[in-house]
């Protein structure tokens, strides 16, 4: 089968989790022995990067006259020229790993598209009025024009179906998760850098967006300090906050007099992040909304104790194996669950549902079902 894959949207090292998802999935396809050809459609500003990440004799690259970082220009190219480019390259089936695709349907090209979540529907305040109009229109068009729409959890599938009253062509396939248990930096290099003691700090990967609920963890550390709770750590390490948000967070930390209790890291690569996870007392993930929620699962794979919420997809993807707060906004509840996790043994989990081999096989089977009709 000749499978087109649109990567013209991918902004190297800026697209976050969807970049990891797409590249992991493509390399998962290549691990199978199916006699497929994979035609990757690239933008001028991601060509070199993607060619360095995906290398195989079954892969062909098509450079398109667009730039991923030029959002408006890419949108115009996508709707005026993308299907023509696909047809010129003899593509009769195309996979769109994100919801970005032309807003009209091609009679000649079958397609599968992924919608990872509908965050803007639940948190419209993050976006401009125009952006919210676009998101809602784009989601509706994807649901209408795709032969199949993939969502990444059962929760997201149900959320989309309930929001758009649309059920005919939606399936869910979990995200692939790849964790290298050997990619762990020596903690000696990290403890002096951040003034840490093994097992005497909590770690989180979190942003300052409202739904990420980071402020609840800050208030939890404040609660531990003010109540002089001695049997659990009172130090939190945070990765994932930068730019103006970092300044806002620093102001909150100063207001709460927690300068000695909270560490904000700069960007951390995988081996440093993994070391911070495995040497922490426990990994905390306070999010109120996730389409999937990879960080707590990755922490479980590394053997960390995890305290998180039951919100949206989180209990689903962590398989009920974590400790869960009942009230994500309550510092007292967080302290209670942190105390509970102290009694638990560390376990390295692994879930077959998230294996790249299994996930990529489910996608390929779906591609064959759609493409061969």
Q: What is the pLDDT of residues 229-278, one digit of tens each?
A: 999 999 999 998 987 888 899 999 999 999 999 999 988 999 999 999 99
Alpha-carbon torsion (289, 292, 293, 299), positive or negative = positive
Q: In sequence order, what are the beta bridge partners of 238?
A: 204, 264
C-alpha span between 273 and 204 (Å, rounded): 10
191 Cβ neighbours under 8 A, 6+ residues apart: 197, 198, 279
Q: For position 170, what pLDDT does the model report?
A: 97
Q: For position 17, what pLDDT does the model report?
A: 84
Q: Are 184 and 273 in contact (CB under 8 A)?
A: no
C-alpha span between 322 and 309 (Å, rounded): 9
Q: Are 194 and 238 in contact (CB under 8 A)?
A: no
CA max distance for the chain: 69
Q: For position 98, what pLDDT does the model report?
A: 96
The beta-strand segments (E) located in the chain are 2-6, 37-42, 59-63, 93-96, 110-114, 148-151, 170-172, 202-205, 236-239, 262-264, 282-285, 306-309, 323-325
Helical (H) or strand (E) element with 50? helix 47-53
Instruction: Identify the segments of the chain with pLDDT beneath 70.
Output: 373
Say which DSSP state 329 is in: T
* Sheet architecture: strand order including 202-205: 262-264, 236-239, 202-205, 282-285, 306-309, 323-325
Work out the end-to-end distance of the chain between its first and last CA atoms, rounded to an integer number of angstroms. Answer: 12
Q: Hey, what are 71's tokens?
A: 């959002």
Which DSSP string do the residues of 229-284 spell out, in sequence order? --SS---EEEES--HHHHHHHHHHHHHTT-TTTEEE-----HHHHHHHHHTSSEEE
Query: pTM of the entire structure?
Result: 0.93
């Amino acid at each position: 089968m000749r499978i087109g894959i649109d990567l013209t949207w991918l902004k190297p090292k800026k697209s976050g989790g969807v970049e990891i998802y797409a590249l992991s999935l493509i390399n998962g396809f290549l691990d199978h022995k199916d006699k497929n050809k994979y035609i990757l459609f690239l933008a001028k500003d991601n060509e070199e990067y993607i060619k360095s990440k995906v290398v195989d004799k079954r892969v062909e690259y098509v450079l398109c006259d667009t730039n991923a970082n030029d959002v408006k220009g890419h949108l115009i190219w996508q709707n005026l020229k993308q299907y023509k480019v696909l047809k010129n390259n003899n593509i009769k089936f195309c996979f769109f790993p994100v919801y970005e695709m032309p807003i009209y349907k091609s009679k000649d090209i079958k397609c599968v598209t992924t919608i990872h979540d509908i965050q803007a529907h639940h948190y419209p305040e993050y976006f401009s009025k125009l952006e919210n109009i676009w998101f809602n229109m784009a989601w509706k068009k994807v649901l209408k024009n795709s032969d199949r729409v993939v969502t990444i959890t059962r929760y997201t599938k149900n959320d989309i179906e309930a929001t758009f009253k649309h059920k005919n062509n939606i399936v869910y396939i979990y995200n692939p998760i790849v964790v290298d248990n050997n990619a762990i930096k020596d903690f000696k290099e990290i403890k002096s850098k951040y003034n840490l003691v093994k097992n005497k700090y909590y770690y989180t990967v979190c942003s300052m967006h409202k739904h990420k609920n980071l402020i609840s963890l800050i208030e939890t550390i404040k609660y531990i300090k003010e109540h002089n709770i001695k049997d659990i750590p009172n130090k939190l390490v945070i990765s994932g906050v930068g730019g103006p948000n970092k300044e806002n967070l620093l102001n909150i930390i100063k207001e709460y007099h927690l300068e000695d209790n909270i560490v904000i890291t700069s960007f951390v690569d995988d081996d440093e992040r993994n070391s911070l996870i495995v040497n922490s007392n426990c990994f905390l993930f306070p999010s109120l909304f996730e389409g999937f929620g990879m960080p707590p699962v990755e922490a479980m794979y590394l053997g960390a104790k995890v305290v998180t919420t039951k919100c949206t997809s989180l209990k689903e993807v962590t398989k009920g194996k974590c400790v869960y707060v009942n009230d994500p906004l309550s510092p007292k509840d967080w302290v209670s669950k942190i105390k509970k996790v102290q009694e638990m043994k560390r376990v390295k989990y692994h879930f077959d549902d998230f294996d790249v081999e299994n996930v990529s096989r489910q996608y390929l089977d779906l591609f064959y079902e759609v493409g061969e009709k």
